Amino acid sequence: MKFLPGILLTILLGLSAIPVTAADWTAGLQDGGVITVDPDTRRATVTRDGVTSPLWNGVHRLQDGSVMIVNHGEVVTGEPAASPRQLPAPEATDWEGARIVGYSPCEQLTRHVCGLNNECATSKACEPSRQLLAMEREERTNAADGSRMTYTSGQCINAKNDVEYFSACRPGE
């Protein structure tokens, strides 16, 4: 019986050495469903009506207004941590009601990452920037005054500051 405390101590020390994995990160999609991201693989899935499937590649707007980008099933706009970093919701005071002069923020972003003549069309950020551009154009078309910044315009301003993912087109590199 005098060995029992030693055995218990060994068991407790052994249990404390078991690695604890970070919990899956989840968020609601704006158009319904819940995204789950595995922190180890960064693989994203979506659950709708009890059915779970891989999250398709592209730009996904979350319920909080932020944007998450998925490429080849993995979240690419996030840090390798338990909670992926999304493009943050734009601060309305920075752009709200501003008139667009020249290229819109999403047009600028697309030209920045895809190239002026589409020479970087195969870059990982080109297709997501085009999706943001399509979202912005749809918002501008549906707005009372299509010459003003939209919510997605603000997202594109934030995206252009994410130089790690939305890097500038450099043909030939």
Q: Are 57 and 72 in contact (CB under 8 A)?
A: yes
Contacts 24+ apart (CB under 8 A), 160-166: 160/105, 160/108, 160/109, 160/112, 162/77, 162/87, 165/69, 165/76, 165/77, 165/124, 165/125, 166/109, 166/112, 166/113, 166/125, 166/129
pLDDT tens digits for range 9-32: 333 334 333 333 456 778 888 878
25, containing H or E segment: strand 25-28
Q: With 70 as the cut, is the pLDDT of residue 4 above it?
A: no
Token pair of 88, please? 């943050």
Q: With 90 as the cut, is the pLDDT of residue 133 above it?
A: yes
Dihedral (CA of 98, 140, 111, 89) sign: positive
Q: Name the more confident of 150 and 77.
A: 150
pLDDT tens digits for range 46-105: 888 877 777 777 788 888 877 788 877 778 764 333 445 455 556 655 677 788 888 999
Token pair of 140, please? 């501008």
142, containing H or E segment: helix 126-142
**Of 30, 75, 55, which Cα lies nearest the Cα of 165?**
75
Q: Are 77 and 68 in contact (CB under 8 A)?
A: yes
Q: With 90 as the cut, is the pLDDT of residue 146 above it?
A: no
d(CA 158, CA 87): 6
How large is the angle between the packed helices 151-161 and 126-142, nearest 10 degrees?
A: 160
